[in-house]
Structures are given as structure tokens and as C-alpha cells.
Copies of this chain bind each other. A is one copy, B any other.
Amino acid sequence: MKKICYGMVGGGPDSFIGDAHRKALNIDGQAVLTAGCFSRTPEKCLQTGSELGVSSERCYESYAQMAQKEAAREDGIDFVVVVTPNVSHYPVCKAFLEAGIHVACDKPLCLEVGQAEELCALAEEKGLLFLVTYTYMGHVTAKHIREYIRQGKLGKIRTVMAEYPQGWLAYEGEWGGKQGAWRCDPKQAGGTNCLGDLGTHIENAVATMTGLKIKRVLAKMDVVVPGRVLDDNDMVMVEYEGGATGCYWASQIAIGHDNDLRVRIYGENGSIEWRQETCEKVTIIERDGTIIERHRGNGGIEPSAAAYGRLPSGHTEGWLESMANLYRSFITCLRAKQDGSFTKDMIDFPTVHEGADGIRFLHACLRSAANGCTWEEL
């Protein structure tokens, strides 16, 4: 089978997320990195390219040049991975869409609702695939929950408690290194730090698992650590269409939490608990209170979810496999685009539309917080 070729914007030396995307793509070995604009500093870009086996003439000085040149090559990249700071997601994605290249972009999609809607329209118009890497929704257990709820097994959903606490930015004067620096800098991160970084994951996880649409939000966004200007601890009350309610908490000052995305969903016929850090299992409570623990790889996992597993149960899969699962569906769709067999129902990954939902959520929260915690429609 012909290998798919991809390029990367961002992901230079010291980048965590770029390296993580590359390793995730490596696992199944379906795509090869052949071009990149890994850094705005040419030497750094060339250094990373050289380490990764990208020929120097395909290490570009700007994303614009890269989009143009790759689009023009016979053997140009099939898709681009965008892993820059939030502020540049929009222009980079736009450039590649305009060049006719499929896009995979890290979340949050962009900064403004208008930008998000423009990217949605552009992707539709060009007929291009657009993956937004809400990584955690790649987990087999997350997919199981989505399918379980889709089949109505939980009945009408009543309330959702979801949270994403981290502790690494709890310290005054210690800004979490390069990662912390750009996230807390309004120029690179946009108008929000914590809610943009973590809150969007919560929003997407709940939307993906439950299918609920948010009607309005009430947000309290706080700056806790002295010297910071962007939020680092956020609470959001949510009302969904149809009457369900939710409560979200995102924090970077919760010492003791590593990366603790957790979703609890309460329906009229039972409940579900899921925690990213123990992603190999899901807890399902039936109407009569029976508590059932299901493991990836065991019977009882919905077949459409189970199909993503690579190893037998108990042979732990983790974050990279979750990301790889998003790419697996993305590349399947991409091949289908290339051979003309693509249909929309093949998409089993978060797209630019879910990315735009995240930006709408962020802006409603920002309005609410600015108004002293009012209810704001999405």
C-alpha cells in the first residue's frame, strides 16, 4: 500500500506536542514525514528536519512557502500537521487549505469564532479533511461510551460532571518551562490559558460522548497565581438543549493532578465514569446500581470501539495510541478521498466543526466571566 506523506508546521527542538504527533503517527507506520517548517528559526528548522530524515530542501522557512511549494510538487505532502502555538493555528491552517492540502491541527482550533467559521467554510468548499486533535476522544473506552449512549442505554441524560485538573502551573515564578511560558502569554495563547487549553478538551469530550449541544454557559474564570494575567482555574455551569445540565472545572493549579481529564455522565437509566489517566477501563453503572468495570480488549466493549485496539487486554495502551486512533481514521478517509470511495459517515475523528464548537464555547465563557457570571448563549 502506498505510504501517505505528511508535513509538519511547528514541532521543532523542545516541542512536546510535535514530537508526540510524530510518535503517534509512527505506531501504525502508515504515514511518512517528508516536509516541515519546524521552527521560525531556519537553523532550528534544518536541525529538526535532519534529525527526522527530512531532506533539507523540504525544510521551509515559512509555512506559507511550504504550503505553496508542497502543493506544487508531484510528490507533495498528502496532509499537514499544525502544532504551533494557538495564535498561529488559523493562518497556518488557512494557508494549507487554500493550497488544497488536508489538515490536522492541534486544539484549540483558533482564537476567534469568525476564524473558526471561515476555516469550516473553506474546508467544506475545498472538499478537504480537517482533523482537530482532541486526543482523548481516540481512546477505545471513550468510543465505547459514545456508542453506548448513542444506543440509548443510559436513557435521557440528566447531568454531567466533567473536569480537567492539572498542577504543573501552580507555582509562582516557576512557569512550567517553555510550555508554560507560551500558554500564559496572551500574545501566543489568545484571551485564555487554562480554559482554552483544558476547557476545550472537557467541552469536546462531553459533546463527543453524549451528543449533547450546549445552549448556554455561566463561567467563572479566575487568575490564581500572582503575576499571571490569563486564567488558571475555571468553573463553568452548563445548560444543554433538552434540559440536561453540566458542571465543568479546568485548573492548572491543582497540585497532585497530572493530567486528570475525567467525565461522569448521569442518565435516567444509569451512569458512566471515565478518567483519562486510567483510560484502559470504563465504569458503567446500571439502573439498579450495579457497578460494572469494562476493560479495553475484553468482551462487552462495543465492536466499533474495540476495533481500534492494538494489544490484548491488560497490555496497556495509552496516549500515543489514542492519538494514533484519530490519525487512523483520518488516513483511512484520506485514502478514500484519493481513491474516490470517501463518504462522510466514514469520519470517526473530531473535525473542524468540533473545533469551531470549542471556540464558540470559549467565547461564551469569556463573555460570561467578563460580565460577572451571567448566562451566555453559545
Contact = CB atoms under 8 A, between A and B. Distances in A.
Interface string A59-83: 0000000000000000000000000
Contact of A26 (B29, B53, B218): B29
B292 A288 contact: no
A3 interface: yes
B271 A255 contact: yes
A321 B167 CA distance: 24
A224 interface: yes
A116 B377 CA distance: 39
Nearest to A29: B26
A311 B277 CA distance: 13
A161 B250 CA distance: 11
Contacts of A256: 270-271, 273, 283, 285, 289, 291
Interface string A229-271: 0000101010000000101010101111111100010111111
A312 B16 contact: yes
A363 to B, nearest CB: 19
B258 A298 contact: yes
A24 to B, nearest CB: 9
B289 A298 contact: yes
A117 interface: no
Contacts of A218: 218, 220, 373
A372 interface: yes
Interface string A191-234: 00000000000000000000000000010101010000000010
Count chain B CB atoms within 10 A of each CB in A167, A245, A317 and give the residue with the most.
A167
A237 to B, nearest CB: 6
A27 interface: yes
A186 B218 CA distance: 29
B318 A316 contact: yes
Interface string A1-34: 1010000000000001001101100111100000
Interface of A: 1, 3, 16, 19-20, 22-23, 26-29, 51-53, 158-159, 161, 163, 166-168, 170, 172, 218, 220, 222, 224, 233, 235, 237, 245, 247, 249, 251, 253-260, 264, 266-271, 273, 276-280, 283, 285, 287-295, 297-300, 310-321, 372-373, 375
12 contacts: A20-B315, A23-B27, A158-B253, A159-B254, A167-B271, A222-B245, A255-B287, A259-B313, A277-B316, A290-B294, A311-B319, A318-B318
